[in-house]
A and B are shown apart, each in its own frame.
Chain A
Amino acid sequence: MAVNVDTGARTRDAATEPALGLLALFWVILARDLRVGLRRWTDASNSALFFILVVTLFPLALSPKAEQLRMIAPGVLWIAALLATLLSLQLLFRSDLEDGTLEQLLTLPYPLGWMLLAKTLAHWMITGIPVVLMAPVLAITYHLPATALAVLTLSLLLGTPTLSLLGSIGAALTAGLRGAGVLLVFIVAPLMLPVLILGARATDLALAGEDPTGPLYLLGALLVLAVSLAPIVAAGAIRVSAD
């Protein structure tokens, strides 16, 4: 076969802008990662199934009495969501590092943090959204009343992306390490504590008939903080891991 393909090497005089605008870049990365994630749907469903499992274990280990379940529901559901996120984080960057696609991103003229934000969003959409959708359904089995259910779901909707973003820092730091599952949990869990406390607390307040907007606003603030800062830190960490 002859090479009749223009390899495209251009005359280099003028400085050129990178080829894609930031929004288009975000979409391209997001679309590909979603496609890959959905093809690996067994991985993705692992964290959803784990969430269901943990939530199921508590009534069995404690007691199925309605009053008790209602009391522990906010904490149990939030802990289950946190554990499910921790479980799913393992696969955020590791496979990309192993098949060489991560280092391809490092050689592009685009900001790494922005690309990682797109990847983390894809990851959350595949692993976090199922948790947010299943939580109210499972909370019904814990006899949570409607308002508390709504607040629980809202707190998870605001909180799980933050958990994914904070987790992306740990995933980036441990991506190249062998058998680093527990280390990742250790690194990331302390960072996630404020989200856990706020989310569970907001639901508790709603359960008691009080106003949950304070913690919910704080959750929103943490989300904004995480979106702006976590990708930058993760980008630095990725460069170390890919060294």
Chain B
Amino acid sequence: MWTWFFRLASPPHLYALAGKLSLWFLIPAFGLLAVGTWGGLVLAPPDYQQGDAFRIIYVHVPSAYLSMMIYVTMAVAGAIGLIWRMKLAHAVAASCAPIGASFTFATLVTGAVWGKPMWGTYWDWDPRLTSELILLFLYFGYMGLRSAYEDINQADRASAILALAGVANVPIIHFSVIWWASLHQGPTLSKLEAPSISWDMLWPLLAMILAFTLYFFGVLALRVRGEVLAREFQSRWAQDVLRGTSTAGGK
């Protein structure tokens, strides 16, 4: 029953599969993006408190959700690599990191942009944004550790351990930052709360979250292809692919 799982450990098989999957993810992703953007920017009514400024949640919230989801994915992939010694699981983890960091950065930027009309300033040490900033540091630490190791196996194992240590700490860090903020900002925990949300405003948000998630998996599939090729470039199947003589699936 688990053969499909362990067949993923074969590089050429994963390469071909990822190629097919990327299209299956990206096409619906762009479709949903279009739908969600239309719904959020045009169809949804302006919020009575924030006016049109709230519309940034259609980028901000999906980015935030993905920044955290990708970190967990990275840690799980690393754990699979450590426990079952699957090197390709490490390749997946390595591919996740820059995507996750980008989404984290996007969350911070959109949060700052949202902050200007809300608080009058770009940065107000809001607890959620501060946690996101720490998450960005965690991503940088992960990528920095990876690149500091010359041997790829050591890099894989060390960064997997770091990701697991990070994942265990993220809840603790998050709660301590929220607690810290509550001491200084009074009862309203985050001024970036989404406005009281009606269905007109909600469905585009859900569409965008789904769109971003599919986009992530599509881009991840593409990155994993590149990562696998780079790691295995000396093998026969990889040489075939690079020379264009491959009969395997995918582009």
Contact = CB atoms under 8 A, between A and B. Distances in A.
Interface of A: 169, 173-174, 176-177, 180, 183, 186-187, 189-191, 193-194, 197-198, 201, 222, 229, 233, 236-237, 240-241, 243
A237 B140 CA distance: 18
Contact of B158 (A193, A198, A237): A237
A169 B148 CA distance: 16
A173 B180 contact: no
Interface string B125-149: 0000000001001101100110011
* Chain B at the A interface: SS class: helix
B141 A190 contact: yes
B173 A236 contact: no
A198 B148 contact: no
A201 B137 contact: no
The 3 closest A-B CB pairs, nearest first, are: A194-B176, A187-B141, A186-B141
B165 A243 contact: no
A194 B166 CA distance: 13
Given A174-B145, A180-B148, A193 B140 contact: no
A237 B134 contact: no
B154 A186 contact: no
B20 interface: no
Nearest to A229: B168
B41 interface: no
10 contacts: A174-B148, A183-B145, A187-B144, A190-B141, A191-B165, A193-B173, A194-B169, A197-B177, A236-B161, A240-B154
B137 A189 contact: yes
What class of interface size applies to chain B in its complex with A? 20 to 34
Interface of B: 134, 137-138, 140-141, 144-145, 148-149, 151, 153-154, 157-158, 161-162, 164-166, 168-169, 172-173, 176-177, 179-180, 183
Contacts of A222: 172
B161 A194 contact: no
Contacts of A177: 148-149
Contact of A233 (B148, B149, B151, B161): B161
Given A173-B158, A240-B161, A186 B176 contact: no
Contact of A183 (B134, B141, B154, B169): B141
A74 to B, nearest CB: 13
A77 B232 CA distance: 51
A206 to B, nearest CB: 14
B177 A186 contact: no
Contact of A190 (B154, B173, B180): B173
B137 A186 contact: yes
B137 A243 contact: no
A151 to B, nearest CB: 16
Given A187-B162, A240-B157, A240-B161, A173 B145 contact: yes
